[in-house]
Amino acid sequence: MKSEVTIKGHGIEITRFFDAPRDLVFSYWKQAEKLQRWSGCKEAKNCQIQMDFRVGGSFKQKMHITGAGDFSIEGQYDEIIEPERISYHVDLGGAVNRVLVEFFEQEKRTKVVLTHEGLPQQFCKFISQGTTESLDKLDRMLDGVAV
Amino acid sequence: MVSKRKQLSSVFAALADPTRRRILERLSKREEFRVTELAMPFRISLPAISRHLRVLENARLVQRRRNGREHLFRARSGGLKEVQGWIVHCVAGWEFSFDSLDELLKSEQRRYKSL
């Protein structure tokens, strides 16, 4: 796996380096036509994004998940500091997922630290052991398919 | 049958409450508890505890067994697996997206250089 994953108090933290300047990396989160080209899981097809990129603005991502049908998720931007950080939340039927993305300049590369919160703190502690094992498995799985 | 998404939401909603998380932690310490035993450390009524247990039961995080008039509860490890699965899925999703982003950034930079 190319990203580094840590279990944090309220969720998970994923760190990834991109070989591109920060402004360029940030633009791929800021513009819908760029974001919809990469956002979404492996099973997601025909991803369409409508977004109002400003604090309090909302976004909607429509996609087709192979074998499961059409889905759409809606969220709202809570904080935007260009080109340093973006935070938003998505409400999944009563459970709120919060995502914070931070962009750091490291010479000519960009370090992206993504915190995905959706788990209460004690609970995370409770399951972190088991999860670390699962993540190791995932890591091996992803390594196996990496070109 | 409840859908996976619904099941996951009910797990998160159940875990959003601190009392329910403490109940779950207590349940992990021993095989089985009576409702009265579970209620003991909390300053809330027995009916309130029962309501919390029902939420946990609906989220399939606990299992109820009746012994005469007595209700006994135990933790269901399967319920947690679901959330573990969610974490793995969530990481895999981001990893996949980031790989695509990486490709896009690389090709855009190659275009710049060739201009």
Enumerate the domain spans of chain A: 4-145
Q: Confirm or reject contact between A126 and chain B (CB < 8 A).
A: yes
Q: What is the pLDDT of residues A56-93, one digit of tens each?
A: 999 998 888 777 678 788 899 999 999 999 999 987 65
Q: Which class is B4-114 in CATH? A: mainly alpha
Across the interface, whether the CB atoms of B28 and A2 are under 8 A apart is answered no
**Cα-based angle A90, A92, A94 (whole degrees, multiple of 5):** 110
Handedness of CA B13, A131, B62, B25 (dihedral sign): negative
User: CA A85, CA A26: separation in Å to the nearest integer?
Assistant: 9
- For chain B, domain boundaries: 4-114
By CA distance, what is A41's nearest residue in B?
A: B93
Nearest partner of B42 among B61, B67, B69, B23, judged by Cα: B23
Residues of B in Cβ contact (< 8 Å) with A37: 100, 104
Task: Please state which CATH number belongs to domain A4-145.
Answer: 3.30.530.20
SS3 helix, strand, coil % of chain A, rounded to 5?
25, 50, 25
Can you give the C-alpha Rg of chain A in angstroms? 16
Q: What is the pLDDT of residues B46-95, one digit of tens each?
A: 999 999 999 999 988 899 999 998 999 998 877 777 667 767 777 888 88
pTM above 0.90, yes or no: no
Interface test with A, best of B10, B82, B87, B102 (most A CBs within 10 A): B87
**What count of other Cβ atoms lies within 10 Å of the Cβ of residue A44?**
19
Parallel, antiparallel or unpaired: strands B62-67 and A69-81: unpaired
User: CA A87, CA A77: separation in Å to the nearest integer?
Assistant: 6
Contacts of A72 (CB under 8 A, 6+ apart): A60, A61, A62, A63
Q: What is the pLDDT of residues B13-57, one digit of tens each?
A: 787 777 888 898 888 888 899 998 998 888 889 999 999 999 999
Across the interface, whether the CB atoms of A19 and B106 are under 8 A apart is answered yes
Give the distance from residue B59's alpha carbon to the nearest chain A alpha carbon, in angstroms: 13
User: CA B9, CA B22: separation in Å to the nearest integer?
Assistant: 19
Across the interface, whether the CB atoms of A95 and B16 are under 8 A apart is answered yes
Using an 8 Å Cβ cutoff, are A20 and A111 in contact?
no
